[in-house]
Structure 1
Amino acid sequence: MKTINFYVVGLLCLFTTGLFAQETFEEKAAAIARNIQQITKQEKDSLKAEVEAVNQLLENNEITKDEADERKQEYAEKRAANIETRVAVEQQKLDELVQDKVDGKVESKSNTTTILGIKVNHTENDSVKVEKDYNRTTSQFVFALGLNRLMTDGEIDDENFKNSSDFYEWGVALNTRIFKDNNLLHFKYGLSLQYNNLRPTNNRIFAVDGKQTVLIDDPKGRTFKTSKLRYVNLVIPAHLEFDFGAKKVNGDKTYYPVQKSVRIGIGGYAGINVKEKQKLVFDNDNGNKVKEKTKGNYHVNDFVYGVSAYVGYSSFSLYAKYDLQPVFSNNQIDQNNLSLGIRFDFN
């Protein structure tokens, strides 16, 4: 009976303490900050474990290098999306907390609080202004995808290549504000992998004829569900970016938001070809699906350079890139790759 009474008294104490002890603004904000840090750590740890699992499958020859790269890319995109979604919830909590402080619903221990780079100033009339301390240089994850076209003498080659020829690109970038006191001009540079796919028309395949790469009818008479040549370039992109986001002023300090408004980027890229292969998918005589991949030298140029541009709002933009170097090094007719699509730059 004494034991039961002891627990009852303890529960009552906890209950009454929760009723009369209110958390301060700083304590609640700190809890939100810890949640954001924990979310980021959890997603990064999960991504690390997924990548290690893929690497193990690759070492055991259970998947190919291309399949491993595709899985890693999918996992990275999923984890980035998870972080963005979960952190948005915490950001909403922070916004509500700030509003509660403005309305006088929560107490504060001091006049100034700084949490996760967010400075909160409490004025004499108990109003609160929150400004993010934007760094002059920020890092970003870049992902783009869209359609590929081969250009011959300024014309799109629709006769030999399907409209479904595509590309995707992913990488990392650094975005540096050029002028200390002006947000208009930025220099964006980084490292990216560009995956370009060319899909022939009329059930044809790529073949090497001496030093040239040509399209031929399949000698085995197969009907392809997929026939494509993929070449992967590792490039260093560099762009001059115009960011039309307005500056923010808080007292005697000025802040420059990144990617909160209209953006225009103009620049180019240069790099090397790291891989080229042909992939064929068809049904065999038994009706079973067969995937055939041929890695080799299809005489894709070892070096690549080109121009690129994008225009958009916030993290989303329309994107175009054009290889000034012909795709194939020894063909009699030069054909250059044009890519049009969409692009995401995630801070």
Structure 2
Amino acid sequence: MKTMIFYVAGLLCLIATSAKAQTFEERAGVIARDIERITKEEKDSLKAEVETVNIQLENKAITKEEADAKKQQFAEQRARNIETRVAVQEEKLAQLVRDKVDGKVKKDKFRIVFNGSSKDTTITKELSYKRTTSQLVFALGVNRLVTDDKIDNDNFKWRSDFYEWGVAFNTRVFRNNNLLHAKYGLSLQYNNLRPDNDMMFATEGGKTVLVDSGLDLDVARLRYVNLVVPVHLEFDFTKKQVNGDKTYFPTHKSFRLGVGGYTGFNVKEKQILKYSEDGHDIKTKQKGDFNVSDFVYGVSAYVGYGEVSLYAKYDLQPVFANNDVDSNNLSLGIRFDFN
């Protein structure tokens, strides 16, 4: 019995040690998969609930108005579930980033080569750069809606903004050439649209439109969050380093250019309104379905020096799925790739 207890205790210690020793990329990957699983579970549940309502409507057990009300109720509940459950994972990811900044997360080990001989007792230590490295990505900037091939500056404030953060992997394409790299990873994109002139978003007949709020609004903001997989072809002009018969390929030390795109899906959306009424500051959050496209794909590019770049991305799919006129989101900003 004692042997079994010691065995179990040892096994638990081994598991705990292994979990503790996970790298930043491994832990971030687990969190990203959890977010994807949560979103899929809630959306699958919503589809089943809507199908049940449709069956009731076909059997004339409920009216169309009752069916629409039930669908709206289910959609709002599932949206709240996603937001609540994803918020837990986002906090884990934020804590993981803080731990990495504080040096509490295991780093990828670099290889140390010791050279020596019986005639020469001098020992030299060399750093071997990996062919695949990882970076923490953070970007922020402004958003603009493009409608009928024109940027809509009339209905939205300049403070419409975005920010993005995630993890990226950078693989040198050619073994002995440092110019071309494949860059890929996982990111959360937070997009904010801020209507002007006391306007707000509303859904009418399955379409999303701007309407007069009837309020003196201090803040009106529609936020939608996308989980995406970005893929870029990166040109890195960092020079290789030669030390004797060894050649090393550092990255993010010179001029860089990246072109590519991204694909993913929407994980949540909500509208926030702030205004004053009878001397009181009021803040409301409207959660649910604002007809934001479930799936997202687009093109993106960046150009810069070292770890800092100018960054642009453009959603090829419309922001709102069922509108008569398509509006696509254009983002311009600054991007940081922290090694």
TM-score, length-normalised on structure 1?
Answer: 0.67
Give CA-to-partner distance per residue, 1:16-57, whole Å, 9 cap, x none: xxxxxxxxxxxxxxxxxxxxxxxx98xx8xx99xx9xxxxxx
Distance of aligned partners of 1:330 and 1:159 in 2 relative to their CA distance in 1, 3 Å threshold: same
1:255 pairs with 2:248: yes
Letter paired with 1:294: Q
Instruction: Write the distance in 1 (CA, Å) between the matches of 2:236 and 2:101.
Output: 24
Q: CA deviation at 1:262?
A: 1.1
Counterpart selection for 1:307 from 299, 305, 314: 299
Q: 2:192 is aligned with what amino acid?
A: N
- Aligned pairs for 1:52-71 within 5 A: none
Q: Which of residues 113, 117, 133 is equivalent to 2:111?
A: 117
Aligned twin of 1:273: 266
How is 1:297-336 mapped onto 2 (pairs within 5 angstroms)? 297-336=289-328
Q: Which residue of 2 aligns with 1:146?
A: 141
Matched residue of 2:140: which SS? Answer: strand
Residue 274 of structure 1: how far off its partner (Å):
1.4
Say if 2:110 and 2:127, in contact at 8 Å, map to a contact too. no
The structure showing larger relative contact order (alpha-carbon pairs under 8 Å, at least 6 residues apart) is 2
Output the CA distance in 2 between the equivalents of 1:179 and 1:224: 55
Distance 1:77 1:342 in 2: 19
Alpha-carbon separation, structure 2, partners of 1:69 and 1:293: 21
Compute the displacement of 1:223 (Å).
Answer: 2.2
The alignment of Structure 1 onto Structure 2 pairs a total of residues equal to 261
Deviation at 1:203, TM superposition (A): 1.1
Residues 209/295 of structure 1: CA separation in 2 closer, same or farther (3 Å cut): same
Aligned 1:221-300 pairs, distance under 5 A: 221-287=214-280, 289-300=281-292
Alignment pair present for 1:82 and 2:97: no
User: How many Å separate the matches in 1 of 2:196 and 2:92?
Assistant: 31
1:83 is displaced (CA, Å) by 3.5
Cα distance change, pair 284–130 in 1 and its aligned pair in 2 (3 A) = farther
Post-superposition Cα deviations, 1:149-170, rounded to whole Å, max 9, x if no partner, equal 0011222101111100000111
Contact 1:134 1:258 in 2 (8 A): no
Structure 1 residue 224, shift from structure 2 partner: 2.1
Residue 127 of structure 2 corresponds to 132
- Which residue matches 1:21? none
State the distance in 1 between where 2:126 and 2:255 align. 20
Give, as a single letter, the amino acid of the residue that structure 1 aligns with 2:231: A
1:204 corresponds to: 199
Match of 1:104 in 2: none
Q: Contact 1:322–1:336 at 8 Å: present in 2 too?
A: yes
Quick one: structure 1 residues 127 and 344, their matched pair in 2 at CA, closer, same or farther if it must change by over 3 Å?
A: farther
Instruction: Summarize the Cα distance change of 1:126–1:181 in structure 2 as closer, same or farther, 3 Å threshold.
Output: same
Quick one: which amino acid aligns to residue 225 of structure 1?
Answer: D
Aligned partner (choices 329, 334, 339) of residue 342 of structure 1? 334
Partner of 1:55: none
Q: Give % identity.
A: 58
2:311 maps to a residue whose letter is Y
The offset of 1:121, in angstroms, is: 6.0
Give yes or no for contact 1:148–1:167 (8 Å, CA) kept in 2. Answer: yes
Match of 1:177 in 2: 172
Provide structure 1 residue ranges, at least 5 long, that are not aligned to the other structure.
1-39, 52-60, 88-114
Structure 1 residue 116: deviation in Å? 4.9
1:192 maps onto 2:184 in alignment: no
Residue 81 of structure 1 and its aligned partner are, at CA, apart by 3.6
- How far apart, in 1, do the equivalents of 2:85 and 2:258 lie? 33
Asked which structure has the greater CA Rg, the reply is 1
Q: Partner letter of residue 206 of structure 1?
A: F
Residue 64 of structure 1, CA deviation: 5.4
2:238 aligns to what SS in structure 1?
coil
Q: How far is the alpha carbon of 1:80 from its aligned partner?
A: 3.9
